[in-house]
């Protein structure tokens, strides 16, 4: 196949795939089998691999995910993405209606739309081509997630008209995608995602777009950004125009002329909500006319012409069958109510945390009680109250134990705490939870070694402390349930790779009480080696900014334990790094670098260093790296394809360097 024939074939395949994708992902009316779509996509990928010069920014092949990113660039929204005021009941809606009528009279209408429970995004198109996508962020500055948004198949890469505009919408994870994600996580022994909203947000903030591509996200576009009057006279007409351009909008919207019609629409969705294939958490009500929206204006935080009705948390009645106790990593004993399974806000709930003994007493909870349960924030199940009037006399008081349910050591309540705590360092539950913490993302970050696998290894007595993780063999792993040859090999590679982590990862993973990830980094930077830290005195520790007396006492106490010294020797013997590998920061006063005391902003693509590398080097020289350009910015480093940050820097008269000048200064 020569270049000319390849180009013709590529154009034909792109047109077909774009049309089939629109029918499937936007109209929800597929016209060809999935297998045929996959065959055409594979053919396109093969031709583009052979003729890379034919690959364009709007090719459907981009949907599979591109290169891994170093970090997300900050994006300043041209028009702020304001939040909405909330209404929680019928009276709030009537008050909103009264304010609208006082401002614009009685001749207006509303548009009611489902409030999708996802992540707000902004999409920019230049001459009809998808140019940039960003998160809402704080409303003024978001993060550039263009590469991840391109993996969402319902987002058009090229519009049906060559227009330049910005649109706003909600990216979300459909219920079926959420269920598939959690099923895969469960099989890998990983912690399950809490809800579709968090899962969608986490997927779009993956630095590897290929991961986002596997999450099967979707989107509804709900507004034209900036001045919608350039394209339509009203919000409802604007949504119709988005449909015409090839965007996916939510068809459940309704135009209403009175607040009573709005209330009827809102009420109807309280019951219909669970039957949708995606999560919603309310209804958005907007004045339809753009002219009237402009007259009503906005406050500093929200438009006066729109409001979000938030659904009340669904409350159901069920029975407390039992109260189960669990022991955490720090020895805290937490009671959990075992409930007669009941459906709440779309999912079946069988457990609810009771937090501590004081809460049980405060709510007068007994075994066998009928209780009201809801999901706090539509996420976490909680017991609201007891229906004491329904008691039969067969209910039983619950007594917190005086001994640990795992190791039978005596429980204590430390001064100033409400929790009962097991202080036996050899408690199996604490050891198991400590192992799970050690391998977690913010600690040693051992991919594939999740809670389920750790529990299996611990139950089989293959690991008793964190050092044992580094002594695991392929044969031991293959003996575990659902552990295949490939998984075992990948896990051993991940364990080996974690040995080279910088000191702060190990420090956080050890679970020293009161030492979080940030404090671990500060300690690692200050003491540089585990040996130096292990002999530090209270005064040495307190002298460090951010380290208080309570944390210092805890650190000293940890290293005074004989078991801690032995564990560290074991870890060192198996090759775990005990030194800080990052750049050691210096204060602006200590540094004679040109970066000392300066605020620096990075923009565009750098060829020789990653963003993280540059950030660490500048901070090590006493500088501060910021994500946005302002009057307080001293210097902007601009790589290739630098965008709005460079423009703003030039407008403000801020000094701009290219990568060559940056490298020359760093190499001095």
Query: CB atoms < 10 A from the CB of 655, how many?
Result: 10
**Per-residue tokens: 133:** 């996508």
Q: How far is CA 292 from CA 88, 233, 270, in A?
A: 24, 10, 29
Backbone φ/ψ region at 277: left (φ over 0), alpha (ψ -120 to 50), beta? alpha
Q: How far is CA 61 from CA 69, 150, 157, in A?
A: 18, 10, 11
Backbone φ/ψ region at 59: left (φ over 0), alpha (ψ -120 to 50), beta? beta
List, for residues 225-281, the tens digit of each pLDDT value.
Answer: 876 778 899 999 999 999 999 999 999 999 999 999 999 999 999 888 888 999 898
| Range of weakest confidence among 106-120, 295-309, 395-409, 604-618 | 604-618
What does CATH list as the number for 315-390?
2.40.50.140
Mean pLDDT for the chain overall: 87
Residue labelled with tokens 């300043």: 76
pLDDT at 549 over 70: yes
Structural fold of domain 503-573? DNA polymerase; domain 1 (1.10.150)
Q: What percent of the chain is modeled with pLDDT above 90?
A: 43
Q: What percent of the chain is modeled with pLDDT above 70?
A: 95
Confirm whether 115 is a catalytic residue. Answer: yes
**Which CATH number is correct for 3-64, 1.20.1260.10, 3.40.50.300, 1.10.287.610, 3.40.50.980?**
1.10.287.610
- Max CA separation in the chain (angstroms): 86
Residues 6+ apart with CB under 8 A from 171: 118, 119, 121, 149, 152, 200, 204, 217, 218, 219
DSSP secondary structure, 229-266, as one string: GGT-SBHHHHHHHHHHHT----TT-EEESSHHHHHHHH
113 versus 660: which is more confidently predicted? Answer: 113
Closest CA to 165 of 110, 231, 101: 231
pLDDT at 115 over 80: yes
List, for residues 419-475, the tens digit of each pLDDT value.
Answer: 888 888 778 888 898 999 999 988 999 988 888 899 999 989 999 889 999 999 999
Q: Model pTM greater than 0.75? A: no
What average pLDDT does this structure show over 68-80? 79
Read off φ and ψ for residue 117, nearest 5 degrees: -90, 85
Task: Return d(Cα 533, Cα 519) in angstroms, integer.
Answer: 13
pLDDT at residue 594, rounded to an integer: 86
346 versus 442: which is more confidently predicted? Answer: 442
Residues 6+ apart with CB under 8 A from 564: 510, 558
Query: CB atoms < 10 A from the CB of 276, how many?
Result: 15
Give yes or no for a contact between 296 and 305, defined as CB atoms under 8 angstroms apart: yes
pLDDT at 501 over 90: yes
pLDDT at residue 376, rounded to an integer: 61
Task: Return d(Cα 19, Cα 11) in angstroms, integer.
Answer: 12
pLDDT at residue 577, rounded to an integer: 96
Query: CB atoms < 10 A from the CB of 429, how many?
Result: 21
**Superfamily (CATH H level) for 599-666:** BRCT domain (3.40.50.10190)
Beta bridge partners of 158: 129
What does CATH list as the number for 428-498?
1.10.150.20
Residues 6+ apart with CB under 8 A from 116: 170, 172, 220, 222, 250, 278, 279, 280
What average pLDDT does this structure show over 11-23? 88
Residue labelled with tokens 């207006």: 108
* Marked catalytic residue, from 9, 94, 115, 175: 115
Give yes or no for a contact between 205 and 171, defined as CB atoms under 8 angstroms apart: no
Task: Return d(Cα 457, Cα 439) in angstroms, integer.
Answer: 13
77 versus 249: which is more confidently predicted? Answer: 249
pLDDT at 303 over 60: yes
Which of the 8 DSSP states describes residue 157?
A: S
Residues 6+ apart with CB under 8 A from 8: none
Planar angle of CA 318, 323, 324, nearest 5 degrees: 130
pLDDT at residue 576, rounded to an integer: 96
Task: Return d(Cα 445, Cα 505) in angstroms, integer.
Answer: 8
Residues of 214-253 as b/e, b for ≥16 C-beta within 10 angstroms? bbbbbbbbbbbbeebeebbebbbebbebbeebbbbbbeeb
Read off φ and ψ for residue 344, nearest 5 degrees: -130, 125
Q: How confident is the model at residue 584 (pLDDT cuts 50, 70, 90)?
A: low
pLDDT at 484 over 70: yes
Q: How confident is the model at residue 75 (pLDDT cuts 50, 70, 90)?
A: confident
Task: Return d(Cα 272, Cα 504) in angstroms, integer.
Answer: 49
Q: How far is CA 602 from CA 131, 609, 639, in A?
A: 20, 12, 8
Q: How far is CA 79 from CA 126, 136, 139, 147, 163, in A?
A: 16, 11, 9, 22, 18
Q: How confident is the model at residue 171 (pLDDT cuts 50, 70, 90)?
A: very high
Q: How far is CA 213 from CA 17, 151, 153, 220, 558, in A?
A: 17, 5, 9, 17, 44
pLDDT at 377 over 60: no
Give yes or no for a contact between 567 and 465, defined as CB atoms under 8 angstroms apart: yes
- Run of H or E residues at 478: helix 474-478
Residues 6+ apart with CB under 8 A from 512: 554, 555, 558
**Superfamily (CATH H level) for 85-310:** DNA ligase/mRNA capping enzyme (3.30.470.30)
Planar angle of CA 193, 136, 347, nearest 5 degrees: 25
pLDDT at residue 305, rounded to an integer: 96
Domains 428-498 and 503-573 agree in fold: yes
Beta bridge partners of 139: none
Task: Return d(Cα 577, Cα 498) in angstroms, integer.
Answer: 9
Task: Return d(Cα 425, Cα 404) in angstroms, integer.
Answer: 12
**Per-residue tokens: 179:** 């269920």
Q: How confident is the model at residue 41 (pLDDT cuts 50, 70, 90)?
A: confident
Residue ranges per domain, the chain?
Answer: 3-64, 85-310, 315-390, 428-498, 503-573, 599-666
655 versus 186: which is more confidently predicted? Answer: 655
Give yes or no for a contact between 44 and 9, defined as CB atoms under 8 angstroms apart: no
């Amino acid at each position: 196949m020569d270049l000319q024939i390849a180009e013709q074939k590529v154009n034909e395949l792109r047109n077909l795939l774009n049309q089939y994708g629109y029918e499937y992902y936007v109209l929800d009316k597929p016209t060809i089998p999935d297998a045929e779509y996959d065959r055409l996509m594979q053919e396109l990928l093969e031709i583009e691999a052979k003729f890379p010069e034919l690959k364009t920014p709007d090719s459907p092949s981009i949907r599979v995910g591109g290169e891994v990113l170093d970090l997300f660039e900050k994006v300043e929204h041209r028009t702020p993405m304001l939040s909405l005021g909330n209404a929680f009941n019928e009276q709030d809606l009537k008050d909103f209606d009264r304010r609208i009528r006082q401002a614009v009279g009685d001749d207006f209408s509303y548009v009611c739309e489902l409030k999708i429970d996802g992540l707000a995004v902004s999409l920019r198109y230049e001459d009809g081509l998808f140019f940039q996508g960003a998160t809402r962020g704080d409303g003024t500055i978001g993060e550039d997630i263009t590469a991840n948004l391109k993996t969402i198949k319902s987002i058009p890469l090229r519009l049906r008209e060559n227009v330049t505009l910005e649109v706003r919408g909600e990216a979300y994870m459909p219920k079926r995608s959420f269920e598939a994600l959690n099923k895969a996580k469960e099989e890998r022994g990983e912690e399950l995602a809490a809800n579709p909203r968090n899962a969608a947000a986490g997927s779009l903030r993956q630095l590897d777009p290929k991961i986002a591509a596997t999450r099967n996200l979707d989107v509804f576009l709900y507004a034209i950004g900036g001045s919608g009057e350039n394209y339509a006279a009203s919000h409802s007409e604007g949504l119709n125009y988005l449909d015409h351009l090839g965007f996916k909008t939510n068809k459940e919207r309704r135009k209403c002329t009175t607040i009573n019609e709005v209330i009827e629409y809102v009420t109807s969705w309280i019951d219909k909500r669970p039957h949708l294939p995606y999560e919603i958490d309310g209804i958005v009500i907007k004045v339809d006319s753009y002219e009237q929206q402009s007259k009503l204006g906005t406050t500093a935080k929200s438009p006066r012409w729109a409001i979000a009705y938030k659904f009340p948390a669904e409350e159901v009645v069920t029975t407390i069958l039992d109260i189960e106790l669990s022991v955490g990593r720090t020895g805290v004993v937490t009671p959990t109510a075992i409930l007669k399974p009941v459906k709440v806000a779309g999912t079946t709930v069988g457990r609810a945390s009771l937090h501590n003994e004081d809460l049980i007493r405060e709510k007068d909870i007994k075994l066998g009680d009928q209780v009201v349960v809801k999901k706090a924030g539509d996420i976490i199940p909680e017991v609201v109250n007891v229906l004491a009037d329904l008691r039969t006399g067969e209910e039983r008081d619950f007594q917190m134990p005086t001994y640990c349910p795992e190791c039978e050591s005596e429980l204590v309540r430390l001064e100033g705490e409400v929790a009962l705590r097991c202080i036996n360092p050899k408690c199996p539950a604490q050891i198991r939870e400590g192992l799970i913490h050690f391998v977690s993302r913010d600690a040693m970050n051992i991919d594939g070694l999740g809670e389920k696998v750790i529990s299996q290894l611990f139950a089989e007595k293959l690991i008793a402390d964190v050092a044992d993780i580094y002594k695991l063999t392929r044969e031991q792993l293959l003996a575990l349930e659902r552990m295949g040859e490939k998984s075992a090999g990948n896990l051993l590679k991940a364990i080996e790779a974690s040995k080279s982590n910088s000191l702060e990862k190990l420090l956080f993973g050890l679970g020293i009480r009161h030492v979080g990830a940030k404090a671990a980094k500060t300690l690692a930077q200050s003491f540089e080696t585990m040996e130096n830290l292990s002999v530090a005195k209270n005064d040495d520790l307190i002298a460090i900014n951010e380290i208080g007396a309570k944390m210092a006492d805890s650190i000293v106490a940890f290293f005074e334990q004989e078991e801690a010294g032995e564990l560290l020797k074991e870890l060192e013997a198996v090759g775990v790094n005990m030194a800080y590998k990052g750049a050691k920061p210096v204060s602006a006063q200590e540094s004679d670098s040109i970066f000392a005391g300066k605020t620096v902003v990075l923009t565009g693509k750098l060829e020789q260093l990653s963003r993280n590398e540059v950030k660490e080097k500048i901070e090590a020289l006493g500088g501060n790296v910021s994500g946005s350009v302002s009057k307080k910015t001293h210097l902007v480093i601009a790589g290739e394809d630098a965008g709005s940050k460079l423009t703003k820097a030039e407008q403000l008269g801020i000094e701009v360097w290219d990568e060559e000048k940056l490298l020359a200064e760093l190499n001095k």
